[in-house]
Amino acid sequence: MLGKSVVVKGQIITGEDLTIDGTTEGTVELQEHRLTVGPNGKVQASVKAREVVVIGTLQGNVETSDKTTIRKGATLIGDIRTARIEIEDGAIFKGNIDIIRTEPKIVPSTQPKPQGTASAVTPTATAAGGATSGAPETKR
């Protein structure tokens, strides 16, 4: 947490969630975490995070891998690149939004695979040009 009397000019890179309620200029990177710009927060920075929640003021481009939220009474001026966005009534936003498509995570199946191999039965053509029932022919 950066309190409302804290002023940071430069680059912030952190491996945990961060709340800024003071003034920040530069860049803010929280690749796998959440940035919250508090009600007194004034951020003038390029932001990269998993999630961004703006309650105060943010001026700069925002890139999130998950979600961007602009709360009622908040201001965000800049371009947003995100998978999901929420802009509440009464929020101010000026910029462009680019919705990115996230690839679904492939979860390995916990069910065991059958030992045999399955094959599809396809109809075969007969000499007359018709199709058989798909069952194998038996010779007598």
Residue-by-residue pLDDT tens, the chain, 140 positions: 888 888 899 999 999 999 999 999 999 999 899 999 999 999 999 999 999 999 999 999 999 999 999 999 999 999 999 999 999 999 999 999 999 986 666 666 665 555 555 544 444 444 444 444 455 555 55
Cβ(124)–Cβ(131) below 8 Å: yes
pTM beyond 0.85, yes or no? no
- What element of type H or E holds 52? strand 42-54
End-to-end CA separation in angstroms for the chain: 85
Burial class (CB in 10 A: 0-12, 13-18, 19+), 135: exposed
Query: How far, in Å, CA of 15 to CA of 33, rounded?
Result: 7
